[in-house]
Structure 1
Amino acid sequence: MTVRVAINGFGRIGRNIVRAIYESGRKDIDVVAVNDLGPVETNAHLMRYDSVHGRFPKSVSVDGDTIHIEGGDSFKVLAERDPSKLPWKELGVDIALECTGIFTAKEKAVAHIEAGAKRVIVSAPASGADFTVVYGVNHDKLTKDHIVISNASCTTNCLAPVAKVLNDAFGIEKGFMTTIHAYTGDQPTLDTMHKDLYRARAAAVSMIPTSTGAAKAVGLVLPELQGKLDGVAIRVPTPNVSVVDFKFVPKNKVTVEEVNAALVAAADGSLNGILAYTDEPLVSIDLNHNAASSTFALDQTKVVEGDLVRVMSWYDNEWGFSNRMADTAAAVGKLL
């Protein structure tokens, strides 16, 4: 079955979802429409040329309100502020991918259902969501009763596979995560007014401490870890690729070799394509455009006296997450 999707918000994630679908060659998802308030030609131009990920792999053209992609595919570009007024019923939309960052709460996201979509997947944590999914970790628990679904955050998608493997293998008594995170579009290029004074500062000139709910959100995905994890973020002056530094106390003493072996086995097995690993001395740029949710660095594992463990895992916070949005859409489509 090919699931028909529409994307609300054609920014970093919205555009990369389209790109992920075409670069992977998948035929189980058909993008029928995009809703974005910017001009159609501007949306097409930003699709063709990307400062982080390079040129779009196919030629892109515009005809009226439609973007055409080399090979015969096309989708309409709408400009409607109220998602409840979008023509999802008329266009036969199965799933709306809510990527604006505005309509994240369930009571706002259901506007897409009112407009005729059968399901909504929010590209962010979503308060009140029927289900929070991290593909590869708990997507097998999706049901037909889940209407508004959160795809969590890019950081939760990085941490959750690692936490699942470590908890299954050794048990996690408690843990703390620091994500060293690339700056994103909601940060200013120069100092400006913001209710969070950390977020008021220029993105590209400082390391900026800030909050994140990514670690706590793992408890939504893995209930057995509810209340056991917390974390913080430090935004750094790079445009893409982030890294999770995770420290935890295991139930029993472990070694570096045991920790690495458990993660490698999962990456080669049940979490293949979601969790990856490297034994090379990589830096962040080396992981740009990497589709895995989480790439574990074998040489960064540290164990102190057997009961304090530190692991590190990279993630392309745009590309990996966008690929998981597509994976989740396909999984939800099978339930319709």
Structure 2
Amino acid sequence: MTVNDDSFTDWKIREEIAEAMIPIIGKLHRERDVTVLLHSRSLVNKSVVSILKTHRFARQIDGEELSVTETMPFLQALTTLDLGPSQIDLGLLATSYKADDRGLTVEAFTAEAVAGATGENKIERAQSRDVVLYGFGRIGRLVARLLIEKSGSGNGLRLRAIVVRRSGDMDIVKRASLLRRDSIHGQFQGTITVDEANSKIVANGNEIQVIYSDDPTTVDYTAYGIKDAVLIDNTGRWRDREGLSKHLQPGIAKVVLTAPGKGDVPNIVHGVNHDTIKPDEQILSCASCTTNAIVPPLKAMADEYGVLRGHVETVHSFTNDQNLLDNFHKADRRGRSAPLNMVITETGAASAVAKALPDLKAKITGSSIRVPVPDVSIAILNLQLSRETTREEVLEHLREVSLTSPMRRQIDFTTAPDAVSNDFIGSRHASIVDAGATKVEGDNAILYLWYDNEFGYSCQVVRVVQYVSGVEYPTFPAPRA
């Protein structure tokens, strides 16, 4: 047998194992509300090839490739346990087991590692929480996809309605079509039908009421059977407490803004300050995509090295706020053609750092350049640290943070030598550290942070909504503090 034959045989074996993993992962999710992860990446509803690729990707952050032959025994061990709602990371289980020298069996080690989700320790499955989307643009449709994707267990978040302004004939058909197909993010994973007579979109069995309104104060959500809902405002039309309070109509309990909040509206970056949300807080903001991208790695660097000052330069994809061709715009430069120009503009991300990291006393400045790509941006974070370090030490620290810290869902890490922006379309992390581009000299560190400013940010929004709804379940093995 040749080397090539050996490689192909190995592939077929791993393919067969991945096929066997799919029904186990699906059953755990549907019946027990358990989400199976691999280094923070969900394996729920993933294909055979996707599962194998996710295992292979582990080599970029953990130094070596994980095999399904290593993780399958842990997955099988989970099926024997009395598990409650939780997120369980097979990657961490496998790597932690390798480092353990007690000689435990896989079954015994797994039972110990996830003990907080079993038996008397397991939490009750939460009742589903109604969610309303106010606005259905780029972020609104991606949040809708995520909410529909996460409704498989029948618990958690449930998208009940979308509120939009009527835009003419065939409005609901056209909006459903935009949900079904996306030029950047591809096809919707599932089926979508339209019930025009009842003004509903049915996506993967989820009935979503389309409500037409120009004024949030005129909508009684209880008339549609909606109660105690979280409303996500994707319009950015109102950004202060007074304006956002207009949404607090019958059936709505909380309002989450997908733009930087003004005044006393809390700006929340999940993974960094979401635990500061007061239980009775009705209005909060998820800040901006750039704030979400820079604050987690900034906190990681400040915690380890201290930060005296810094500057963030954002090279940002163009947005719907800009013009396709030169035309009037109230802001400087943004009236010039977005697909044809690099456009210098302002960013509020640097000033927003103070809200998310109030204990950070370092002065952070910022600027931004819009460039002719439709999605994925990069933030260049230039920091003066409190002590000298080395490039190797910084990269090892950030790699470890991406693997085992409480911010592992926010910070990703890549060593790919030829990575470009398109490679990060669909990333669910708030930002991805580009190891190859990182520069460190003495007390100066320059980090290059990729981020999908649409999808990665939408994932952060959903995480905040899960948290305030009480359906963000604990992760096992527990992240290191």
The aligned counterpart of 1:166 is 301
Distance in 2, matches of 1:302 and 1:13, equals: 33
- Which of 187, 194, 197 aligns to 1:62? It is 194
8 Å contact from structure 1 (residues 101, 123) kept in 2: yes
Alpha-carbon shift at residue 158 of structure 1 (Å): 0.4
Distance in 2, matches of 1:129 and 1:80, equals: 27
8 Å contact from structure 2 (residues 430, 452) kept in 1: yes
Normalized per residue, the structure richer in helix is 2
The aligned counterpart of 1:317 is 453
- Classify the secondary structure of the residue corresponding to 1:223: coil
Distance in 1, matches of 2:369 and 2:146, equals: 27
1:141-184 Cα deviation digits (max 9, x unpaired):
21213211000000000001000000000001000001100001
Counting only pairs closer than 5 Å after superposition, residues 268-287 of structure 1 correspond to structure 2 as 268-269=403-404, 270-281=406-417, 282-287=419-424
- Classify the secondary structure of the residue corresponding to 1:44: helix
Is 1:14 equivalent to 2:149 in the alignment? no
Look up the equivalent residue of 1:298 and give its one-letter code: A
Alpha-carbon shift at residue 51 of structure 1 (Å): 0.6
Distance in 2, matches of 1:252 and 1:166, equals: 11
8 Å contact from structure 1 (residues 5, 94) kept in 2: yes
| More displaced stretch, 139-148 vs 6-15 | 139-148
Residue segments in structure 1 that go unaligned for 5+ positions in a row:
none
Alpha-carbon shift at residue 115 of structure 1 (Å): 4.5
Is 1:79 equivalent to 2:79 in the alignment? no
- Which of 140, 144, 148 aligns to 2:275? It is 140
Distance in 1, matches of 2:361 and 2:282, equals: 23
- Which of 416, 428, 433 aligns to 1:291? It is 428
Alpha-carbon shift at residue 196 of structure 1 (Å): 2.0
Look up the equivalent residue of 2:211 and give its one-letter code: L
Is 1:330 equivalent to 2:466 in the alignment? yes
- Which of 161, 164, 177 aligns to 1:36? It is 164
Look up the equivalent residue of 2:200 and give its one-letter code: T
Counting only pairs closer than 5 Å after superposition, residues 1-336 of structure 1 correspond to structure 2 as 1=126, 2-24=128-150, 27-37=155-165, 38=167, 39-64=171-196, 65-70=199-204, 72-90=205-223, 91-225=226-360, 228-269=363-404, 270-281=406-417, 282-304=419-441, 306-334=442-470
Look up the equivalent residue of 1:87 and give its one-letter code: D
1:13-70 Cα deviation digits (max 9, x unpaired):
0000011223455641100000111411111010011011011111111102000013
8 Å contact from structure 1 (residues 182, 235) kept in 2: yes
Taking structure 1 as the reference length, what is the TM-score of the superposition? Answer: 0.95
Look up the equivalent residue of 1:36 and give its one-letter code: V
In structure 2, do the counterparts of structure 1 residues 128 and 63 end up closer, same or farther at CA, with 3 Å as the change threshold? same
Alpha-carbon shift at residue 131 of structure 1 (Å): 1.7
In structure 2, do the counterparts of structure 1 residues 93 and 190 end up closer, same or farther at CA, with 3 Å as the change threshold? farther
Distance in 2, matches of 1:252 and 1:224, equals: 18
- Classify the secondary structure of the residue corresponding to 2:448: strand
Distance in 1, matches of 2:230 and 2:360, equals: 30
Alpha-carbon shift at residue 130 of structure 1 (Å): 3.5
Q: Which has the larger radius of gyration?
A: 2
1:117-156 Cα deviation digits (max 9, x unpaired):
1110000001124421101111112121321100000000
- Classify the secondary structure of the residue corresponding to 1:290: coil
**Alignment length, in residue pairs?**
333
Distance in 2, matches of 1:69 and 1:141, equals: 34
Alpha-carbon shift at residue 104 of structure 1 (Å): 2.0
The aligned counterpart of 2:61 is none
Look up the equivalent residue of 2:328 and give its one-letter code: M
8 Å contact from structure 2 (residues 151, 157) kept in 1: no
Distance in 2, matches of 1:89 and 1:233, equals: 43
- Classify the secondary structure of the residue corresponding to 1:224: coil
In structure 2, do the counterparts of structure 1 residues 75 and 195 end up closer, same or farther at CA, with 3 Å as the change threshold? same
Alpha-carbon shift at residue 205 of structure 1 (Å): 0.4
8 Å contact from structure 1 (residues 129, 148) kept in 2: no
Taking structure 2 as the reference length, what is the TM-score of the superposition? Answer: 0.67
